[in-house]
């Protein structure tokens, strides 16, 4: 390939990646240390950065350079992969070998650019400003338990997202929501997800009814307080065991735990601490640590290109849910961790390990998604998916959202919120304007079950390793099969290569039924 064409593309990607990192840092600060009075200025800063990013991404000169680089690749005999179907994702035929790093970076860049060039710069800036304003309004609405304080902002974000979707264009035979999905899970469509969620509900609802009817195990934490500093130190100990490099990342505290990767060598996690619930911080750290390991495992040699990014948000969620649930709620893991928990909190010294394990895996109908167990969790996501579809299809108005939420919780989980803060206002995603994001949590759960099953086959000593606190063999297996590939291939193709299976619920169902069958008292 003529180096001048690639050099132009590479320089453009390097600038775009740097701008992404700067915007990500401002977002992290916005959620951790930003003074309340600085919110308006932060919105202006993010708006300017995102506008500049959009301007550079859509510049005609970059488009010309991409075309020239793609033409040179074809001349060299490289396959011209135009999308996930050609690359073996979403039902396509797998290629013999992964694409070259240059081709993979070009494919990722073109995907992002083709969407961006259709969106006016004015709309990009408006979205950034409204996201910052909505975030402030959401926090105040939660504190006051007043959905009406947030509703106008959600109306505005919904209108802006509709405008964005219409600018990008609905795929043939698809619908508005498909365009939002595509931004998080490339190639995913409502026509595929709706039947999958219906299938999940078909066996999850009766499973929840059966498990929730069992006598609840004793709660070893009830009525006790647990020193937040000791909780904090335990989370850092677990992060270190997982192999998260604290020289290339950090953990802080926030209301809603999250992970942001500025670069594989600068990854920011947050967790939250509750004096009466020490496992909340622990599971948040395991979850965000899984995200963080993925970010740190991305191909650092390509850190200045679009190859150095997760294949999809669903695959990202698979990493967090794998560590949080398939590792963090497993019996072998607690053989190692329980003594350390008891050492920090002597009040737990007499807790029976089997009883503790049952308590950690208690299944109950709860109102809060982030605190729900792994059996009920996807029903929380199913509700949000249903509501988002209704809003995009125009069958659900924002003003009717609280009632629809409460009715849906009653129908799917048999519980009903009494306050907006524990219902429709509990998640931050809509304040960020992240419509289309929620389904990636369920996609991630399904991928996680398949990946863990494959890892168990490949690592016959895995249970023994977990029981001894040796977590690096699992991290290294995930790094080899998932992390290091970045965006070289679509997410489903990476999972298929690692497990022999694409997106399906069979592994997840088998995991839950085997685990909770064995946990019967």
- Please tell me which residue in 288, 295, 492, 493 is annotated as part of the active site: 288
Question: Is residue 392 within 8 Å of residue 162, measured between CB atoms?
Answer: yes
Question: Is residue 449 within 8 Å of residue 326, measured between CB atoms?
Answer: yes
Quick one: which of 493, 491, 506, 489 has its CA closest to 450?
Answer: 506
* Ramachandran angles phi, psi of 15, nearest 5°: -65, -45
Residue 317 marked as a ligand binder:
yes
Please state, as a whole number, how many other Cβ atoms lie within 10 Å of the Cβ of residue 237: 15
249-253 and 259-263: which strand pairing?
unpaired
Residue 310 structure tokens: 């997760």
C-alpha neighbours within 13 Å on the C-beta side of residue 128: 24
Residue 481 marked as a ligand binder:
no
* Ramachandran angles phi, psi of 101, nearest 5°: -65, -35
| Region label for 269, one of left (φ > 0), alpha (ψ between -120 and 50) or beta (otherwise) | beta
Question: Is residue 487 within 8 Å of residue 302, measured between CB atoms?
Answer: no
288 is catalytic: yes
Contacts of 379 (CB under 8 A, 6+ apart): 201, 204, 205, 208, 412, 413
Question: Is residue 467 within 8 Å of residue 336, measured between CB atoms?
Answer: yes
Residue 493 marked as a ligand binder:
no
Q: Is residue 213 exposed (0-12), middle (13-18) or buried (19+ Cβ within 10 Å)?
A: exposed
The helix-helix angle for 176-184 and 439-458 (nearest 10°) equals 40
Question: Is residue 429 within 8 Å of residue 437, measured between CB atoms?
Answer: yes
Question: Residues annotated as binding site?
Answer: 287, 291, 317
Q: Which residues are catalytic?
A: 288
Question: Residues annotated as binding site for Zn(2+)?
Answer: 287, 291, 317
């Amino acid at each position: 390939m003529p180096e001048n064409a690639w050099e132009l593309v590479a320089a453009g990607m390097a600038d775009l990646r740097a701008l992404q990192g700067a915007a990500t840092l401002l977002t992290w600060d916005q959620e951790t240390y930003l003074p309340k009075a600085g919110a308006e200025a932060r919105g202006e800063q993010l708006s300017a950065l995102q506008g500049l990013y959009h301007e550079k991404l859509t510049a005609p000169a970059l488009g010309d350079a991409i075309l020239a680089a793609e033409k040179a690749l074809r001349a060299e005999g490289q396959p011209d992969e135009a999308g996930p179907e050609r690359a073996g994702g979403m039902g396509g035929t797998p290629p013999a070998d992964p694409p070259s790093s240059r081709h993979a970076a070009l494919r990722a860049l073109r995907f992002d650019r083709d969407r961006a060039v259709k969106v006016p710069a004015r709309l990009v800036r408006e979205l950034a400003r409204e996201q910052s304003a909505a975030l402030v309004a959401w926090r105040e609405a939660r504190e006051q338990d007043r959905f009406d304080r947030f509703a106008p902002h959600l109306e505005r974000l919904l209108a802006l997202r509709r405008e964005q979707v219409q600018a990008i264009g609905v795929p043939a035979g698809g619908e508005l929501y498909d365009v939002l999905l595509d931004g998080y899970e490339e190639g995913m469509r409502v026509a595929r997800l709706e039947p999958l969620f219906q299938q999940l509900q078909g066996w999850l609802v009766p499973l929840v009814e059966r498990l929730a009817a069992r006598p609840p195990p004793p709660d070893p934490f009830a009525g006790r307080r647990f020193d937040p500093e000791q909780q904090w130190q335990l989370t850092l100990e677990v992060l270190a065991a997982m192999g998260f490099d604290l020289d290339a990342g950090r953990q802080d505290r926030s209301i809603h735990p999250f992970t942001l990767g500025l670069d594989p060598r600068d990854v920011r996690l947050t967790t939250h601490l509750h004096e009466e619930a020490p496992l909340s911080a622990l599971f948040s750290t395991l979850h965000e640590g899984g995200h963080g390991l993925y970010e740190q495992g991305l191909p650092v040699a390509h850190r200045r290109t679009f190859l150095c990014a997760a294949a999809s948000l669903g695959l990202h969620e698979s990493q967090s849910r794998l560590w949080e649930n398939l590792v963090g709620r497993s019996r072998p893991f607690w053989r190692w961790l329980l003594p350390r928990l008891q050492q920090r909190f002597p009040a737990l010294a007499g807790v029976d390990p089997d009883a503790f394990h049952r308590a950690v895996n208690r299944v109950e109908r709860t109102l809060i998604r982030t605190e729900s167990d792994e059996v009920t969790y996807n029903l929380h996501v199913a509700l949000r998916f249903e509501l988002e579809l209704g809003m995009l299809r125009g069958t659900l108005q924002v003003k009717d959202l609280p009632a629809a939420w409460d009715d849906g919780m009653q129908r799917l989980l048999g519980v009903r919120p009494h306050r907006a803060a524990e219902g429709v206002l509990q998640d931050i995603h809509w304040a960020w304007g992240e419509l289309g994001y929620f389904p990636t949590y369920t996609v991630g759960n399904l991928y996680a079950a398949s990946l863990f099953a494959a890892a168990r086959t490949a690592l016959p000593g895995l249970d023994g390793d977990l029981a001894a606190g040796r977590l690096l063999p699992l991290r290294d297996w995930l790094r080899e099969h998932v992390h290091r590939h970045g965006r070289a291939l679509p997410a489903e193709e990476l999972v298929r290569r690692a497990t022999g299976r694409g997106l399906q619920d069979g592994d997840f169902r088998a995991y839950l039924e085997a685990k909770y069958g064995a946990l019967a008292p």
